[in-house]
Amino acid sequence: MDEITCKLLVIGAGPGGYTCAIRAGQFGIDTVIVEAGKPGGTCLNIGCIPSKALIHAADTYDTVARAAEGSHPLGISTAKPSLDFGKTIAWKDGIVRRLNGGVAGLLQRAGVRYLTGRAAFRDGKTMAVETTDGNRLIHAESIVIATGSEPIELPSIPFGGCVISSTEALALAEVPGKLVIVGGGYIGLELGTAFAKLGAAVTVVEAAPQILPQYDGDLSAPVARRLRARGVVVLTDAKALAANGGALTIETADGGQAATEADKILITVGRKPATSGFGLERLDLDINGPFIAIDDRCRTSMRGVFAIGDVTGEPMLAHRAMAQGEMVAEIVAGRRRAWDRVSIPAICFTDPEIVSVGLSPKEADRSSFAVKTELFPFRANGRALTLDREDGFIRTVVRADNHLLLGIQGVGAGIAELSAAFSLALEMGARLEDIALTIHAHPTQSEAFHEAALKSLGHAIHI
């Protein structure tokens, strides 16, 4: 068996792992990264990127389809569009391929050695890797576990046949006629909305009393309204019991049972950390529920072993993993670093989009100081009207005594890009006055943020 010695070994080339490896390479650290699949991890291959491509394709198709219905408010009409879904998927795959190549190139340029294969711990300093051209034994001073997460399978409705996870949903050969989605979280609704726009009859089965249970009702309501208008059937307080052939048996809110026909049943009930299959049990690391326990430097309970990304807990978001990966590389390079980020933005690419940064009103209320919450609706925003999308709002959550922004949330068409302004405000420690005294370009949806701040100060102009 070939033996490799390096300073840093990264397990998993997802957003956390590859960022960590590239940053380490920039420091001149002798780094090896091991990945069983393709570079980019869940995010790039079967998550964020392909789903956003599909959502964009669905939006574009939907715009044309609405125009074909003949009642388009903008006065546009056209013949009924047709969809070559195979081509759509090929376009999406092209983007993924390009980014796969991009990540591999960046790693190479940073001087990182890339190994394709499955790694398994021998001990806290050694891993064995099975590659296509033989096995390797890697000795490393530091190891970063960045193995990510995988979809949770329902024991009563195992994957296989027409029961699929998000991975398969992003690689379907055709748009399913009837799509039933179990789990009304952000993954299920993002995909469900896209398929509904592409022409599928979509039913969402959610066990909680509302869809998007991690958000408050104010934020999820515009999404629910839009789903209804789109003809998506949303069953809340409903439990998926079993799949038989082309139907899903559901226990409804009133306790009765119903069967829903389905060409495909998409299970999106959450994700779990990928902690098995690579000999993690040999290290006997401290755990935090299903996750690997880490401290504020992403150190596990074993010296020299770090963990980053989804495997370390919520929120399971690529940008959190990337920030952690960067930090760990700098720590390995001898820099003094610790996790002190104020906020990790979360975006739900539904229609409309939901952005949440910092504390929600409910979370802020748990603090010891008085909190003030104020929102500005897009129906009073000129740009929103010109986009024919006046649904949604921007909301600020501040400390009443010194006006420090604690959280910013919003729901509205295409407002994901506003998250940068929100995150910057929180990270810089902005107060309402800072936002109020910053000129926000007109006409843009960002003015709603400005106006929400003014409103919280008691002097909104446009409402």
Partner 1 sequence: MAERVVKLPDVGEGIAEAELVEWQVKVGDIVREDAVLGAVMTDKATVEIPSPVEGRIIWLAGKVGDVLAIGSDFVRLDVDGKGASPVEAIAPAARATSPSLRKADRAAGTALAPAVEAADRAPPLQPLATPPRREGERPLAAPAVRLRAREAGIDLRALRGSGPAGRITHDDLDAHLAQNSVSAAATPYRAKATVEDIKITGLRRKIAERMSIASSRIPHITYVEEVDVTALEDLRGKLNGQQRPGKPKLTLLPFLMRAMVHAIAEQPILNAHFDDEAGIVHRHAGVHIGIATQTPAGLMVPVVRHAEARDIWSCAAEMARITEAARNGTATRDELTGSTITITSLGVLGGLATTPIINHPEVAIIGVNRIAIRPHWDGTAFVPRKMMNLSSSFDHRVIDGFDAAQFVQRIKTQLETPAMIFIDA
Active site amino acids:
442
- Who contacts 289 (Cβ-Cβ below 8 Å, separation ≥6)? 313
Determine the 3-state secondary structure of 244 from DSSP. Answer: strand
Taking the least distance from each CB to partner 1, the nearer of 250 and 432 is 432
Taking the least distance from each CB to partner 1, the nearer of 80 and 336 is 336
Closest approach, Cβ 406 to partner 1, in A, equals 11
The piece of 87-95, 299-307, 337-345, 352-360 that touches partner 1 (CB under 8 A) is 337-345
DSSP 293: P
Q: For the chain, report the end-to-end CA distance as a whole number of angstroms.
A: 71
Residue 363 near partner 1 by CB under 8 A: no
One of 92, 271, 431, 455 touching partner 1 (CB under 8 A) = 431
One of 80, 303, 336, 366 touching partner 1 (CB under 8 A) = 336
Residues in the chain: 463
Taking the least distance from each CB to partner 1, the nearer of 27 and 91 is 27
Taking the least distance from each CB to partner 1, the nearer of 124 and 345 is 345
One of 80, 303, 366, 459 touching partner 1 (CB under 8 A) = 459
DSSP 369: S
Taking the least distance from each CB to partner 1, the nearer of 96 and 371 is 371
Taking the least distance from each CB to partner 1, the nearer of 200 and 454 is 454
Partners of 273 in beta bridges = 149
Q: Break the chain down into helix, strand, coil percent, rounded to 5.
A: 35, 30, 40
Question: How far apart are alpha carbons 24 and 12 in whole angstroms?
Answer: 15
CA angle 148–205–90, rounded 5-degree value: 55
Residue 338 near partner 1 by CB under 8 A: yes
Closest approach, Cβ 369 to partner 1, in A, equals 9
CA angle 404–453–215, rounded 5-degree value: 80
One of 133, 303, 340, 439 touching partner 1 (CB under 8 A) = 340
Residue 282 near partner 1 by CB under 8 A: no
Q: Are 452 and 459 contacting, i.e. CB atoms less than 8 angstroms apart? A: no
Residue 320 near partner 1 by CB under 8 A: no
Binders in 393-412 for partner 1, by CB under 8 A: 399, 401-404
One of 427, 444, 460, 462 touching partner 1 (CB under 8 A) = 427
Closest approach, Cβ 335 to partner 1, in A, equals 7
Question: How far apart are alpha carbons 410 and 447 in whole angstroms?
Answer: 12
Q: Tell me how far apart the 2 most distant CA atoms of the chain are, in Å.
A: 72
Taking the least distance from each CB to partner 1, the nearer of 370 and 385 is 370
Closest approach, Cβ 371 to partner 1, in A, equals 14
Closest approach, Cβ 152 to partner 1, in A, equals 34
Q: Are 139 and 50 contacting, i.e. CB atoms less than 8 angstroms apart? A: no
Q: Are 198 and 85 contacting, i.e. CB atoms less than 8 angstroms apart? A: yes
Closest approach, Cβ 365 to partner 1, in A, equals 17
The piece of 185-193, 292-300, 421-429, 444-452 that touches partner 1 (CB under 8 A) is 421-429
Taking the least distance from each CB to partner 1, the nearer of 251 and 330 is 330
Partners of 54 in beta bridges = none
Query: What is the contact mask toward partner 1 in residues 199 to 228, using x (rule: CB under 8 A)?
Result: ------------------------------
The piece of 31-39, 228-236, 261-269, 427-435 that touches partner 1 (CB under 8 A) is 427-435
Question: How far apart are alpha carbons 190 and 50 in whole angstroms?
Answer: 12
Taking the least distance from each CB to partner 1, the nearer of 103 and 425 is 425
One of 434, 440, 444, 460 touching partner 1 (CB under 8 A) = 434
Q: How far is CA 76 from CA 67, 69, 120, 280, in A?
A: 6, 10, 58, 58
DSSP 311: G
Q: How far is CA 446 from CA 59, 380, 415, in A?
A: 22, 12, 8
Question: How far apart are alpha carbons 218 and 80 in whole angstroms?
Answer: 36
Residue 93 near partner 1 by CB under 8 A: no
Q: In what order do the strands lie in the sheet with 405-412?
A: 346-348, 353-358, 405-412, 393-399, 371-377
Closest approach, Cβ 345 to partner 1, in A, equals 14
**Number of chain positions touching partner 1 (CB under 8 A):** 20
Residues 220, 92, 115, 339, CA torsion sign? negative
Residue 339 near partner 1 by CB under 8 A: no
Positions touching partner 1 (CB under 8 A) are 335-338, 340-341, 368, 399, 401-404, 427-429, 431, 433-434, 458-459
